[in-house]
Homo-oligomer: A and B are copies of this chain.
């Protein structure tokens, strides 16, 4: 068994939306196809992957560093012990050869796109949905039939008033979501509080609303928002400050009793470990949102799950950022706390398979082999156009 071909391309996921720190009008992602030499139904079994939104395509790193190393590796070095399937850990080691430690940024994003394709391929070769493969290998055969999901929405965009924000939240409720999320920090605190109250007017209770500052606040601003929002009893207060300012998180957690969530901009096991060591987060209420499609992939994420548990946390406190099918499969198969979802943005890559039903804020994992990317028709057509054989 060997890799027959690897293809990569850049896709646009441009959206006229912004959060507190960036707009997404130029946003791109990398798409990767890994074609094996195993033929089924007259076609090679092929895995597909892409990185999450927010950190751009990584074609340079893929073409100049990662893919040449993968092509140069001895085929046997990429397989598991009995040679029956590819080994994602060995593939990661091959593509990370001669990379220095530290500096986990764009490189982690590039590996994340590649690693998604590897796991899609591995599950397809095993002819099972990825969530089932993960359940058997890493969760003693247990899996969740229903996964908590919430839409990553409530963005700022030109001309969007309270009415349109309410309409957006109503549309999520109509689609079956219960917990919803909105951006804060891109307006004044007065305006943001009015936006929060407008949304609460639609969804009823603060326990169903998460707010996301995208790392915008300094400590005093985060404390002021925390104090003002405390009476709402929000689902969580996400990325209050710079993702690497662990002391800020510790100081905020000492004052704000509600749940905090962060981690989408931590791209490695050492960075995530530092958050738990130094960030003052509380295992009984806070959430870790490390995104496998930004942080060297599911492969690194499995090591992060082990680290989190070794530090006394439950894996139920993990809800991956990204809103992609990989995160849904991981949440179901590994027994995580849930998964973000993007029903309306970052199209065609945001969101789950076309046949995924959202009921009472939960989604069921599908039965498609691999990650099930083929079951999201518009996205898969774009993937085929970009990196099809």
- Chain A residues with CB under 8 Å of chain B are 10, 21-26, 28, 54-61, 63-65, 98-109, 214-215, 242-247, 265-268, 270-271, 273-274, 277-278, 294
Greatest chain B CB density within 10 A among A100, A104, A243 is at: A100
* Complex alpha-carbon distance, A57 and B106, angstroms: 13
Residues of the B chain whose Cβ atoms lie less than 8 Å from the Cβ of A273 = 245
Give every chain B residue within 8 A of A26 (Cβ-Cβ).
98
Known: A59-B64, A60-B60, A100-B215. A244 touches B270 (CB 8 A): yes
Q: Which residue of the partner chain, among B100, B103, B266, B268, contacts A108 with CB atoms under 8 Å?
A: B103
Name, among A22, A61, A215, A267, the residue most crowded by chain B CB atoms within 10 Å (CB to CB).
A61
Residue of B nearest to A277 (CB): B247
Question: A105 is contacted by which of B108, B245, B277 (Cβ under 8 Å)?
Answer: B108
A200 to chain B, nearest CB (A): 28
- Of B59, B61, B214, B245, the contact of A106 (CB 8 Å cutoff): B61
What are 12 sample pairs from A and B whose C-beta atoms fall under 8 A apart?
A: A56-B64, A57-B64, A59-B60, A101-B244, A101-B265, A102-B242, A102-B244, A102-B265, A102-B266, A103-B265, A245-B273, A246-B278
Task: Tell which of A103, A106, A244 has the most Cβ of chain B within 10 Å.
Answer: A103
Q: Are B214 and A242 in contact (CB under 8 A)?
A: no
Cβ distance A54 to chain B, nearest Cβ, rounded Å: 5
Tell me if B21 and A100 are in contact (CB < 8 A).
yes
* Copies of this protein, total: 2
Residue of A24, A104, A109 contacting most chain B CB atoms (<10 Å):
A104
CB atoms of B274 and A98 under 8 A apart: no
Q: How far is the CA of A99 from the CA of B54 in the complex (A)?
A: 8
Residue in chain B with minimal CB distance to A60: B60
**Chain B residue nearest to A65 in the complex (CB):** B56
Point out the residues of chain B lying under 8 angstroms from A100, CB to CB: 21-22, 54-55, 214-215, 265
Q: How far is the CA of A245 from the CA of B268 in the complex (A)?
A: 12
Q: How far is the CA of A288 from the CA of B268 in the complex (A)?
A: 23
On whether the beta carbons of B274 and A278 are closer than 8 Å, the reply is: yes
B243 touches A101 (CB 8 A): yes
A273 to B274, CA, bound (A): 13
Instruction: Note all chain B residues with C-beta closer than 8 A to A215.
Output: 100-102
Question: A64-B59, A244-B274 are contacts. A104–B101 as well, Cβ < 8 Å?
Answer: no
Distance A247 CA – B311 CA, assembled complex (angstroms): 14
Chain B residues within an 8 Å CB radius of A64: 10, 28, 56-57, 59-60
Whole-angstrom distance from the CB of A240 to the nearest CB of chain B? 12
With A and B bound together, what is the CA distance between A103 and B103 in angstroms?
7
Chain B residues, Cβ within 8 Å of A25: 98
- Starting from the known contacts A21-B101, A56-B64, 10 additional A-B residue pairs (CB-CB under 8 Å) come to A25-B98, A100-B215, A102-B243, A103-B265, A103-B294, A104-B105, A105-B108, A242-B270, A244-B274, A247-B277
